[in-house]
Amino acid sequence: MTLLSCEGLTKRFDGIKALSEFSCAVKEGETIGLIGPNGAGKTTLFNVLTGFIPADGGAVHFQGKGITGKAPYRIARMGIARTFQILRLIKRLSVLENALLCFQDQPGERLGSIFFRSRQSAKQEAANREKAVALLKQYGLGDKLHDLADALSYGQQKLLSLVCCLAAGADLILLDEPVAGIAPEMIEKILEVIKGLPGQGKTVILIEHNMEAIGRVCDRVIFMDAGEKVCEGTMEEVKNDPRVIEAYLD
Ligand SMILES: Nc1ncnc2c1ncn2[C@@H]1O[C@H](COP(=O)(O)OP(=O)(O)OP(=O)(O)O)[C@@H](O)[C@H]1O
Ligand SMILES: [Mg+2]
């Protein structure tokens, strides 16, 4: 079943076409690699999919519903979570607190609970805390729960950002360069986490310049350049496409 479809997405910044008639369809459970040279429009696509920036044209459907133009928090509630190329963890909060902020069901969000900390909301908070601790332990951050996010290595911060997407309970996870600039052993760890996501019913779109990483975890690869989808297929097919070879040699 198609989980996400983009039809004719267009986004311009001044004279630059960051997205140009970009269309794609992603099936439930797929892991898609999104590749392309710097400035190709990869992050812009994530920004449009998550409502961070409005598209100038085109449409996005998620689980059969139109999400074009919806606010980021509404799209997040519908089940799309992302990480950022430049991480957006709250560095002065602990690892556990960062994960807790990502839960969709936050009792404190409701006006009534500002005045009456009901037994129900205390229960929800305790349940979220238990789930967050379990997730952080499962992904190897169990001994860092109370450390400031700032104290983590860059690789651990990237891992925490990924765990935050899982805490959000998202069905579709968008990862913007999850292994760029980190130590080889952390790359291995994060790739193992990504490999395990389809088994948990998650669908993933992954932006990376690390082709080896893409080849290891992705079912299908989309190559974009100058805002356009140039080609898509298996890593082998895309790698051997003359348009891809030319773009990387330029
Ligand atoms: N908020 C913005 N304002 C103005 N121009 C922007 C903005 N965001 C992106 N752009 C421009 O749009 C184009 C696409 O940028 P984008 O960040 O999507 O590329 P990318 O494929 O993610 O590149 P990289 O691999 O370097 O991260 C670039 O020319 C960029 O300068
Ligand atoms: Mg980018």
**Residues 19 and 41 sit within 8 Å (Cβ to Cβ):** yes
Q: Which structural domain, as residue segments, surrounds residue 219?
A: 2-249
Work out the pLDDT band at 88, boundaries 50, 70, 90: confident
Whichever domain contains 197, its CATH number is 3.40.50.300
Q: Ligand 2 centre from 79 Cα, in Å?
A: 22
Spatial distance between the Cα atoms of 224 and 239, rounded to a whole number of angstroms: 13
Spatial distance between the Cα atoms of 178 and 139, rounded to a whole number of angstroms: 15
Ligand having the closest approach to the CA of 18: 1
Length of the chain in terms of residues written: 250
Ligand 1 atom closest to residue 47's alpha carbon, by position in its atom list: 18
Question: Tens digits of per-residue pLDDT, 117-158?
Answer: 677 778 888 899 999 999 999 999 999 999 999 999 999 999
Question: Tens digits of per-residue pLDDT, 43-60?
Answer: 999 999 999 999 999 999
Indicate the pTM of the whole model: 0.93
The per-residue pLDDT for 41 is: 98
Q: Is 54 in the pocket of ligand 1 (CB under 6 A)?
A: no
C-alpha distances in Å from residue 65, one per residue of 6, 60, 96, 249: 12, 8, 33, 40
Spatial distance between the Cα atoms of 179 and 117, rounded to a whole number of angstroms: 41
Tokens standing for residue 234:
């298996």
Average pLDDT over residues 107-113: 58
> Into how many domains does the chain fold?
1
